[in-house]
Amino acid sequence: MTIAAIDRLSQHVGQIVTIQGWVYHLRSSGKVRFVVVRDGTGLVQGVMVKGGLPEEDFQQFDRLTQESSLRLTGRVKAEPRAPGGYELEVTALAPLQIAQDYPIAPKEHGVAFLLDQRHLWLRSPRQQAILRIRDEVCRAIRDFFHQQGFVLVDTPILTPTACEGTTNLFETDYLDRGKAYLSQSGQLYLEAAAMALGRVYCFGPTFRAEKSKTRRHLMEFWMAEAEAAFYTLDDVMNLAEALVRSVISRVLAARRRDLQTLERDPAALEAAMGPFPRLTYAEALERLRGQGKELAWGEDFGGDEETILSRMFDRPLLVHRYPRQCKAFYMEADPENPELALCVDLLAPEGYGEIVGGSQRLASLETLLTRLQEHHLPQAPLEWYLDLRRYGSVPHGGFGLGLERLVAWLCGLHHVREAIPFPRLIDRLYP
């Protein structure tokens, strides 16, 4: 018995193979019956003709329900009209488990219902397409960093202190050692690794206890973070742009069919392959005022401002040199204007907003000590971080890329909750 994946049926035309999967759709026309099966790689239609397979197997069709699991054996035939372009002339059918009444019917369902059924909703073609694109994005990110000579360094999820303030931390007891926190970012640890290995990255889950219900926020999300010794802000911006363009290229090359399933126009992504425009914070502020959005100098951009800016271009936008007062403690000041930070946000077009945030990091021990005081952060838990400035400090920089936001933009999703298998939201911890 040759077991074949549906997406490899082109290699078995004329051969008899067995598909292992689940019932997606059933249709009967007297002596001819049709069963569409999915196996995670695609869909194939099995054609059952009375007399073309054992009668017992033919009658098993009447028992099948949506999502019943089965093995379907037959000869592979090219058929352009069939799902996937191939079909099986069925010679045997063996049910494995007859599913109960499936709760997700082919009709409109509310978001709350679908999220309650997320473990089953993942089986729909749309959700499968999103997860395949997410997988492609993850592999593209890892491949890019390895090609650029970056070393993967896994940073801790449990940390003794905050990276970007303490107001949005998930707190837990760490045995008898006091409080620990779920990581907001691997950045501080990556800085240490960059002083050892030069260019490093991490890729894993991060946690922000932000009480936000916007379409861009999750409590738990994945970040790809890069850090490199001797990198300036220009180096950081160039690397972030090259990474995003590489990912877009990979998705366009490998996931056209999934984009089609999502009805995502690839032209929008193809347009984003050109050089990314760059604006300073001051220039972006002027653009916003031109659109009737008044914002005082020194205020950070929120979702509304990012949406306006990102809709001005057909490709990602790099906004750099924000006022230091609205950014994190570890960012280097612009030597030409110390009120500005050498930082950058990369905004996705079509109103999707920030997907990358980065900066050149502070290299001076004295300045870093001053910043800790300004931001009311304790020094003792960060002594190891200060050591990086005591022993061979160099200019360095990096960024963090939010995976779900990037996937949401690539797929054209309204909300990031569909860009992760099991979303954790302000009001959701199930399933």
Q: With CA atoms as reference, report the closest residue to 319 among 336, 300, 292.
A: 300
Residue 165 tokens read as 């303030």
Q: Is residue 33's pLDDT more than 80?
A: yes
pLDDT digits over 103-117, tens only?
Answer: 999 889 999 999 999
- Residue 168's pLDDT is 86
Strand partners, 285: none
Q: Provide the mean pLDDT of the chain.
A: 96
Please report which confidence band the pLDDT of residue 336 belongs to, taking 50, 70 and 90 as the band edges.
very high
Q: Is residue 57's pLDDT more than 70?
A: yes
pLDDT digits over 339-364, tens only?
Answer: 999 999 999 999 999 999 999 999 99
Q: Which amino acid is it at 371?
A: R
Please report which confidence band the pLDDT of residue 301 belongs to, taking 50, 70 and 90 as the band edges.
very high
Query: Of 83-92, 162-171, 207-216, 320-329, where does mean pLDDT reach its minimum?
Result: 162-171
- Residue 166's pLDDT is 60
Q: Do the Cβ atoms of 42 and 6 come closer than 8 Å?
A: yes
- Burial pattern 43-73, b for ≥16 Cβ within 10 A else e, equals bbbbbbeeebbeeebbebbeebebbbebbbb
pLDDT digits over 146-168, tens only?
Answer: 999 999 999 999 998 766 666 68
Q: What are phi and psi of 23, to 5 degrees?
A: -70, 125
Q: Is residue 124's pLDDT more than 70?
A: yes
pLDDT digits over 176-185, tens only?
Answer: 999 999 999 9
Domains assigned to the chain: 6-97 (2.40.50.140), 118-419 (3.30.930.10)
Please report which confidence band the pLDDT of residue 276 belongs to, taking 50, 70 and 90 as the band edges.
very high
Q: Is residue 412's pLDDT more than 90?
A: yes
pLDDT digits over 370-384, tens only?
Answer: 999 999 888 998 999
- Residue 177's pLDDT is 92
Q: What share of the chain is helix, strand, coil (3-state, %, to 5)?
A: 35, 30, 35
Q: How much is the pTM?
A: 0.96
Sign of CA dihedral 152, 158, 159, 161: positive
- Residue 107's pLDDT is 86
How many helices, marked H, and strands, marked E, lie in the chain? 13, 18
